[in-house]
Amino acid sequence: MDQLQQLKQMTTVVADTGDIDAIRQFQPVDATTNPSLLLKAAQDAKYAHLLTEAREWARQHTDTSHSRLALMTDRFGVLIGREISGLIPGRISTEVDARLSFDTQATIAKAHQLIEQYEALGISRDRVLIKIASTWEGIEAGRQLEREGINCNLTLLFSFAQAQACADAGIFLISPFVGRILDWYKQRQPEADFSFEKDPGVQSVSRIYRYYKAHNYDTVVMGASFRNTGEIQALAGCDRLTISPALMQELADNDGALIQRLRPDMESNDSKDVLDESGFRWAMNEDVMAQEKLAEGIRNFASDQIKLESLLGQS
């Protein structure tokens, strides 16, 4: 078997793309999207009919309480999700507008709107994950949504404190960003050896995984944002890994043996700790990398959301 096939035997493989053709080719269990991926899809001619459908739907549903642009972008994301859900057996992750990352109630309201749209299209909520940035406000929104039976994917996760808070909130799944952590360290230490298990992003996900398993948390760990296949190989055995089509192809072209690096019976060096809001904010303040990458990620997703709105707003 090639390494992609081997990986699928020990880890749930998730497609990190909005490209329906790539999902059809690699046959992942789940798929994730974000504003950047949706913007890329919106610029592809093969999705032009979904842009038209989103614009028409928004014209019919705009009222004083909803922006037409916001409705169009939400609808386009849901329509892409609908197409993808027809190709996978598992779940599609759809992201809440990053500009709501510091507003708990607005995030909850947006999640309700997205779920309502999916259910109106015949896609039940148990096939959808609502993606929310791992701010304190986002985690609190996830806590309430989980209680309502709406499962969440807490994304832009860079710190152990974020992972602790998500587990305590009963979040269904987290997406710790491996590659963006590596980017931060490489920028500051360009000559350092960050290969394989020396990769700080790999070390972060491994630590979180061991902590969750040792303390019996049900929250799923899904490594994300990979820069190379070495990071994926070093995390083989993680609950889930969301991988771009290009890296899935590299794995499919590699016939070497893949060793399982993470197992549920692994021990953790971290004692169980429940963070309150002040404890969470202090831990984030002390973690310069996490603080900077979270803020940067929110800004970049918000920027791509605005670009997507501009594209959809063109008649």
Pairing outcome for strands 128-133 and 240-243: unpaired
Q: Which amino acid is at 34?
A: N
Q: Which residues contact 216 (CB under 8 A, 6 or more apart)?
A: none
Distances (CA, A) of 149 to 16, 92, 297: 24, 16, 27
Question: Does the active-site annotation cover 40?
Answer: no
115 close to 130: Cβ distance less than 8 angstroms:
yes
**E strands in the chain:** 12-16, 30-32, 92-95, 128-133, 152-157, 173-176, 220-223, 240-243
Q: Which of 40, 46, 110, 131 is catalytic?
A: 131
- How large is the C-alpha radius of gyration of the chain? 19
Distances (CA, A) of 308 to 40, 72, 304: 9, 9, 6
For the annotated catalytic residues, the residue numbers are 131
